């Protein structure tokens, strides 16, 4: 994998273009898209149906091989919604599919390939049914859903809980718990004496945070040149 050999000014232009693309093409597809949201590779984010809402200062990361898909689809073409709170992180390959309602609280993190659904999407006995049984999903605040985990219909996950990678959640998980397995079960509870810091805390001063990232970019990209960047594209060398 090549490092980032772009001149700093080119990276800034790329970030501005991604923001423009998000505002121009994605924003109209949301019922509500909060302020300060960041989309990385927004052309790989797919929204079908609605309403879909995404809260303030959330981050969505997509890639060409792992698109992010937010889908609302019901048997009658009406009803259903996805509501995602402020300061959430949605990683590549995340799929959220709602026939009734999926609510995700603030400061939640959905890792690579996680899948959240409120429906079976087919009848158990009548496989021709297009949606099947559906029950709303409610995910609390500051929940971390691990890599490739699946959250099924009717599940409630309490605030601050963690779902381990590859888990299949088919029953409720209480607050402040760490759960894993198939089916997922509680393995331990968080220590109440250790304070929690959330993404909302991290994003409390978004302007200062953006300036900090910009300064880091300037530092690590200060020696990048246009010729060096072009050379890395057409004739990469060991260490690039």
Say how far apart CA 141 and CA 134 lie, in whole Å: 23
Per-domain boundaries in the chain: 31-204
Helix (H, G, I), strand (E, B) or coil at 10: helix
Read off φ and ψ for residue 237, nearest 5 degrees.
-115, 165
**pTM of the model as a whole:** 0.94
Say how far apart CA 207 and CA 89 lie, in whole Å: 18
By annotation, the residues acting in catalysis are 122
Q: Are 2 and 240 in contact (CB under 8 A)?
A: yes
Q: Are 91 and 199 in contact (CB under 8 A)?
A: no
List pLDDT tens digits, range 189-238.
999 999 999 999 999 999 999 999 999 999 999 999 999 999 998 998 88
Confidence of residue 240 (pLDDT cuts 50, 70, 90): confident
Give the mean pLDDT of 38-61: 97
Strands 177-181 and 184-189: antiparallel
Mean pLDDT of the chain: 95
**Residue among 213, 155, 206, 205 at smallest CA distance from 184:** 155
List pLDDT tens digits, range 75-130.
666 679 999 999 999 999 999 999 999 999 999 999 999 999 999 999 889 988 88
Per-residue pLDDT, 190: 98
Per-residue pLDDT, 76: 63
Query: How many CB atoms lie under 10 A from the CB of residue 98?
Result: 29
Q: What is the CATH number of domain 31-204?
A: 2.160.10.10
Residues whose CB falls within 8 Å of the CB of residue 66, separated by 6 or more in sequence, listed in order: 44, 92, 93, 112, 113
Q: Are 82 and 102 in contact (CB under 8 A)?
A: yes
Per-residue pLDDT, 69: 98
Say how far apart CA 240 and CA 233 lie, in whole Å: 10
Q: Give yes or no for residue 6 having a pLDDT over 90.
A: yes
Say how far apart CA 237 and CA 240 lie, in whole Å: 6
């Amino acid at each position: 994998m090549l490092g980032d050999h772009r001149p700093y000014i080119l990276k800034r232009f790329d970030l501005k273009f991604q923001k423009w693309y998000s505002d121009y093409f994605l924003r109209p597809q949301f019922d509500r898209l909060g302020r300060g949201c960041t989309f990385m590779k927004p052309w790989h984010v797919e929204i079908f149906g609605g309403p879909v809402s995404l809260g303030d200062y959330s981050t969505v990361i997509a890639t060409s091989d792992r698109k992010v898909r937010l889908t609302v689809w019901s048997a009658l073409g009406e009803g259903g919604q996805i509501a995602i709170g402020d300061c959430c992180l949605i990683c590549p390959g995340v799929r959220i599919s709602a026939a009734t309602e999926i609510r995700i609280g603030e400061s939640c993190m959905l890792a690579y390939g996680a899948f959240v659904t409120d429906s079976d999407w087919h009848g158990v006995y009548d496989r021709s049914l297009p949606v099947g049984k559906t029950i709303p999903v409610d995910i609390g605040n500051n929940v971390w859903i691990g890599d490739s985990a699946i959250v099924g219909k009717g599940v409630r996950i309490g605030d601050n809980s963690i779902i381990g990678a590859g888990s299949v959640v088919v029953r409720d998980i209480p607050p402040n718990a760490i759960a894993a397995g198939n089916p997922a079960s509680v393995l331990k509870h968080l220590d109440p004496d250790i304070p929690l810091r959330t993404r909302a805390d991290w994003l409390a001063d978004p302007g200062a945070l953006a300036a900090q990232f910009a300064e880091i970019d300037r530092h690590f990209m200060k020696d990048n040149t246009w010729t060096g960047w072009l050379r890395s594209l057409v004739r990469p060398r060991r260490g690039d």
